[in-house]
Amino acid sequence: MATPSSPSTPPNIVLTGFMGVGKSAVGREVAARLGRPFVDLDDLIEQNAGMSINDIFASKGEAHFRALERLTLRELAAQQGMVIATGGGALVDPANREMMARTSLVICLTASVSAIEARIGDAADRPLLTGPNKQQRIMVLMQQRAAAYAEIPYWIDTTDKTIAQVADAVIALAESGLGGILRLPVSLPDGSGYDILLGAGLLTEAPALLQERGLGDQVVVVSDEHVAPHWSAPLLEALARAGMRATLVTLPAGEAHKNLASIARLYDEFLAAGLDRSGLVMALGGGVVGDMAGFAAATYLRGVRFVQVPTSLLAMVDASVGGKTGVDLPQGKNLVGAFKQPELVMIDPDLLATLPPEEFRNGLAEVVKHGIIEDERLFAQLEGDGPASMESMIARALRVKIGVVERDPFEQGERAHLNLGHTFAHAIERVSDYAIPHGQAVGLGLIAAARLAAARKLCAPDVPQRIHAVVARLGLPTTLSGSGYDPAAIVAAMTTDKKRQGGKVRFVLPRAIGDVGVYDDVSEAEALAAVESLLGP
């Protein structure tokens, strides 16, 4: 996601996306308004080849076309200051994408299937769309490209927008110094959805983002004693400047206060502020604040709208996605709660500046977890020089969680993958009487799960070694040696884990970095060996 920002050499603006999103028309408009040259990649390929794209496909095949495309893109990437529209498939190739990202602001234009169908009209001149049932072809092709487009940092939706309006948005992004807002859309099972927005400085842009979405004019901001002193004033001042009525509720910080007494306090404060059904609850805090504010919003007046501004790394990459909210009871964690989807999640990585380093490392354990579940490249970045930026690390980790919860919104299958390392972690936390923080326990749990998997020959022997090395590198403990905990007690604590189903403890185990599976046939002896490996010298 590296983007040059020297003012003397404006980077290229590259518009990509599916056919029919208006890349060329928008590109021409943007170029004209900024006084920059415009290049349509497909036109350039046709010029260079001396034949139409249809003829290239027909006479030489798609592979030949893609080779020409790559060569032409390389020429363009070497230049600066241009506005470039690419064919919809051009940036599906990761090498092409990375080449362009080095010198260009790459923006993906999107649109709904029906908008695309209406815009492309007769598909006779679209080599990939010939044949019956055009809508189905569009959907299949979109699906094939979804993963590649998801890698592109900036998205602009063009459905219901004019060319001029989309051009406005492109120019705004270009002029924002390239530190624009990354948008990660989340789809919900009922067909609706919400946005996760990610960008430095987003906190003070919150009022405009709320107003754009018609999210009311009254807000109760829920925060805690650690976060509010740093971040509530800029937020409340920005809300007041925008003419919104904003009230702050500051709860005591920490898991010990994630209880029904705090929820009762929130109801009192909501009533005192006169919050009605048109109002909004905004969580400004870590996972504890998010879980409580969300649960209060789900239940107050049978539900008011809810927005998350996560402030801890754990909340940014994990707790703020998926709609789970709730509180602890004296008998156990998260025993009361509700599914409550937010209207919007705004992630401002600048807020991490005040997060204690230990809490940051705790959040990193979940980032590692997401890499092992599904993003080998994220994991490799953590092993190597690190992700290009905080934003890119958060975005990659988030995409894993978004993908899993979208595919399994009601926790019936795949969502179990998110418990990787957690069967061990919860037991370790419990046996330590919560002296070992969750993130540290997760780091240990990831190592134990990988060792168990390697012992079963589910994964190669280097998988536990690589996980151990990354956990150590991030400053998280990799051993319980010297702690004096009884391995048998840790294994016993696992069997009372609430995740157990049908009397069997289920383990999520890595098969490779980026691929995990759920196993319910792990014997106590195997689990014990894995725990003992953590306690050994």
Among 180, 279, 287, 443, binds ligand NAD (CB under 6 A): 287
Stretch that binds ligand NAD, among 192-200, 355-363, 450-458, 499-507 (CB under 6 A): 355-363
> SS3 string of 122-171?
CHHHCHHHCCCCHHHHHHHHHHHHHHHHHCCCEEEECCCCCHHHHHHHHH
Catalytic pick from 361, 426, 451, 506?
426
- Amino acid of residue 298: A
| Minimum gap (Å) between residue 11 Cβ and ligand NAD | 31
Q: Is 426 in the site for ligand NAD (CB under 6 A)?
A: no
Q: Is 322 in the site for ligand NAD (CB under 6 A)?
A: yes
Catalytic pick from 422, 430, 466, 506?
422
Q: Which one, of 482, 478, 481, 480, lies nearest residue 466 by Cα?
A: 478
> SS3 string of 329-352?
ECCEEEEEEEECCCCEEEECHHHH
> What are the Cα distances from residue 221, in Å, to 6, 244, 247, 342, 485?
38, 12, 6, 14, 41
- Contact of 112 with 18, CB cutoff 8 Å: no
Catalytic pick from 12, 96, 362, 419?
419
- Give the nearer residue to ligand NAD in terms of CB position, either 80 or 334: 334
Site size with ligand NAD, rule: CB under 6 A: 28
Q: Which one, of 459, 438, 436, 440, lies nearest residue 449 by Cα?
A: 459
- Contact of 166 with 158, CB cutoff 8 Å: yes
Q: Is 244 in the site for ligand NAD (CB under 6 A)?
A: no
What does the alpha-carbon distance between residue 475 and residue 428 come to, in Å, rounded to a whole number?
18
Q: Is 396 assigned a catalytic role?
A: no
> What are the Cα distances from residue 46, in Å, to 38, 70, 86, 126, 150?
16, 13, 13, 14, 28
What does the alpha-carbon distance between residue 437 and residue 345 come to, in Å, rounded to a whole number?
26
Among 66, 119, 230, 245, binds ligand NAD (CB under 6 A): 230
Q: Is 438 assigned a catalytic role?
A: yes
Q: Is 316 in the site for ligand NAD (CB under 6 A)?
A: no
Using CB atoms, what's the residue nearest to ligand NAD?
A: 287
Site for ligand NAD in 168-227 (CB under 6 A): 224, 226-227
Q: Is 387 in the site for ligand NAD (CB under 6 A)?
A: no
Among 319, 428, 459, 527, binds ligand NAD (CB under 6 A): 319
Please classify residue 121 by burial: count the beta carbons closer than 10 Å to its beta carbon, then call 0-12 exposed, 13-18 middle and 19+ buried.
Answer: exposed
Q: Which one, of 294, 287, 340, lies nearest residue 315 by Cα?
A: 287
Q: Is 468 assigned a catalytic role?
A: no
| Minimum gap (Å) between residue 310 Cβ and ligand NAD | 7
> What are the Cα distances from residue 81, in Å, to 29, 94, 105, 109, 306?
15, 23, 10, 20, 41
Q: Is 406 assigned a catalytic role?
A: no
Q: Which region holds residue 340: left if phi is over 0, alpha if psi is between -120 and 50, else beta?
A: beta
Q: Is 205 assigned a catalytic role?
A: no
Q: Is 426 assigned a catalytic role?
A: yes
Q: Is 302 assigned a catalytic role?
A: yes
What does the alpha-carbon distance between residue 460 and residue 159 come to, in Å, rounded to a whole number?
47
Q: Is 258 in the site for ligand NAD (CB under 6 A)?
A: yes
What does the alpha-carbon distance between residue 140 and residue 109 come to, in Å, rounded to a whole number?
18
| Minimum gap (Å) between residue 222 Cβ and ligand NAD | 11
Q: Is 255 in the site for ligand NAD (CB under 6 A)?
A: yes
Q: Is 415 assigned a catalytic role?
A: yes
Q: Is 401 assigned a catalytic role?
A: yes
Catalytic pick from 29, 269, 343, 366?
366
| Minimum gap (Å) between residue 334 Cβ and ligand NAD | 6
Q: For residue 533, report the phi and psi dihedrals to the nearest 5 degrees.
A: -65, -25
- Give the nearer residue to ligand NAD in terms of CB position, either 157 or 291: 291
- Give the nearer residue to ligand NAD in terms of CB position, either 132 or 357: 357
Q: Is 419 assigned a catalytic role?
A: yes
Stretch that binds ligand NAD, among 36-44, 203-211, 252-260, 388-396 (CB under 6 A): 252-260
Which are the catalytic amino acids? 302, 324, 366, 401, 411, 415, 419, 422, 426, 438
List residues binding ligand NAD (CB under 6 A). 224, 226-227, 230, 253-255, 258, 285-289, 291, 311-312, 314-315, 318-319, 322, 324, 334, 351, 354-355, 359, 362
